[in-house]
Structure 1
Amino acid sequence: MLSVLLSRLRVEEKALLEELDRRHVAYEVLDTRTLAFRLDELDLPYQGALCREVSHHRAHYAARLLEHAGVPVVNSAAAIALCGDKLLTTLALRRAGLPTPRTLVTLTAEAAIGELPSFGYPAVVKPVVGSWGRLAARLSDDEAAQGVLEHRAALPGAHQHITYIQQFVGRPGRDIRGLVAGEEVLGAVYRTATHWRTNTARDAVTSLCPVDADLEKILLDTAAAVGPGVYGIDVLEDADGALYVNEVNHTPEFHGAAEVLGTGLADRYVNYVLDQVKS
């Protein structure tokens, strides 16, 4: 039996569960908000697990516990830990020689204020853990940076004070979301928006993005850098058409892409999961 970890039943989770039903795959939905593990009695009846939990910390720890019990998880705890932290993701991508936006990291918000004039504007500050563009801010000058970073310094929790800043890549009003399962590119879409944050959660419009050899190589090399799994990879284009890997999502939303690429995405996603848990 397969276990499916989640706490929110979004369009993607519904599509994946419907695909499992269509194939008559036995599964149990595990709500991570109510899970309890007895570490002295970790004898679980699952052949594998599909993790679709949106909370980074719950996903990571649930995957760790299942793996400790001998249950293979897609995506793995290691992949969740890496992709869920923007700094760790960037380090892995740079180690693999992939193009990423210029990045400034300080361990306090105050330290970033003095570095930004030489780093340059515009820039984008992001929380190291977070999704859907939440708590991200575009910094246009010293005055804007000081206001935003002073606010970050006042936030509770030392993790909020780790300051991750990227150059703002002057993209053409869009970014690219590529979907990868293992060593296969499932497709790519443009996400176009009037706002500088081009998330589909923020009403970006998707359209077909042709996957040429350069984009395919970047997507597959990115997936290889973070390890086996199913990923949504965000790629930025600058004004000259150069590509930069921005972020890697270990629980990718794909309903916008499915509207453009077709409903077969859930089928191919499930193919990969079942192949992994049977191996």
Structure 2
Amino acid sequence: MNARGGRDPVLVLASRVGPDEKGLLTALRRGGHAAEVLDTNALRRAASGPAGPGGLVLNREIGQVRARYAATMLEAAGMTVVNSAAAVQTCGDKWLTSLALARAGLPAPRTVLAASPAAAEEAAAEVGFPVVLKPLVGSWGRLVTRVRDAEEAATVLEHVGAQPSPQAQVVYLQEYVDKPGYDLRALVVRGELVAAMRRYADDWRTNVSRGGRAEPCVLDPDTEKLAVRAAEATGADIAGVDLVEDRAGAVLVLEVNHRVEFAGLQAAHGGLDIAASIVDRIVGGAS
């Protein structure tokens, strides 16, 4: 059945239905689709289970690990999942994202992965202070630390070394980019830019979830192309691409997010219906 005909069922995978998920459900139903929430908590599948009739799932699970494994279960059942398990795995791990960007030849801050806090001290000195330490998995700017000098690095990394999780003791660090008071978030869906915004904050982290202020912006053609290429490099059909401009005017890719929270972007653009734009590009192209 043609998805544009408005009769194909679409599932929204989520364990928590927030404003963004409600917006997607509304947009789907407005288009005539039998849209339903698929509760991640209820999922189960045998490894030898048969494939089902197929269908489309919008992956809105907030938990990184569950989003990936749920996608593998649904894909094994013959369903098309957006974003896919592979895209969730890449975008959900900052190091895998950095590798994907590097393979695509895209500009990004200098990034180093250190297998231990001791190796991270040496890496930080090589990159040059200040440096930014980030957890491999995480969002909303949590546990992201700007380290100004070697003494501060030693203190922070001592705490990192005391973490019980082996993954937490692997250190991802980037050079600090002295941006002009803002960064950029671009929403890319199936190779098209939907909208973009500048994010400002008193803190050096500009996440809207941390109180950052957003305003709409129009990307120049080169920056738009960079955002689209970054999404494609990670395999994400729906991507929130974070970019930063350095003081010399060069635009760098910071991160690619697989589960995009678009309330801030929606508020910045006012009349633009972000959820409807996503649905039109994803569901309209699913047939």
- Give the CA deviation at 1:43: 4.8
Matches of 1:79 and 1:48, distance apart in 2: 16
Deviations 1:122-165 (Å, cap 9, x if unpaired)?
Answer: 11100111111111111011111111111111111111111100
Q: Secondary structure at the match of 2:11?
A: strand
Written as runs of structure 1 = structure 2, the 5 A alignment for 1:172-183 is 172-183=180-191
1:191 matched to 2:199? The reply is yes
Amino acid at match of 2:84: S
Alignment-derived partner of residue 271 in structure 1: 280
Q: Which amino acid aligns with 2:152?
A: A
Aligned length: 278
Residues 42, 5 of structure 1: alpha-carbon distance in 2 compared, 3 angstrom cutoff: farther
Structure 1 window deviating more from structure 2 (29-38 vs 150-159): it is: 29-38
- The answer to whether residue 37 in structure 2 is matched with residue 33 in structure 1 is no
Residue 125 (structure 1) aligns with: 133
1:22 aligns with 2:30: yes
Contact 1:48 1:72 in 2 (8 A): yes
Aligned: 1:81 with 2:116: no
Q: What is residue 219 of structure 1 aligned with on the other side?
A: 227
Residue equivalent to 2:80: 72
Identify the match of residue 149 of structure 1 among 157, 174, 196: 157
SS in 2 for 1:275: coil
- 1:174: Cα distance to partner? 1.1
Whether the 8 Å contact between 1:47 and 1:277 is mirrored in structure 2 is no
Q: TM-score, normalised by structure 2?
A: 0.93
**Contact conserved, 1:125 with 1:165, CA < 8 A, in 2?**
yes
Say whether the 8 Å CA contact 2:51–2:76 is kept in structure 1: no
Matched-pair contact (CA < 8 Å) for 2:54–2:78: no
Residue segments in structure 1 that go unaligned for 5+ positions in a row: none
Displacement over 4 Å in runs of 4+:
42-46
* Partner Cα distance (1:62, 1:42) in 2: 16
Show structure 2 runs of 5+ residues with no match.
1-8
Normalised TM-score (structure 1) = 0.95
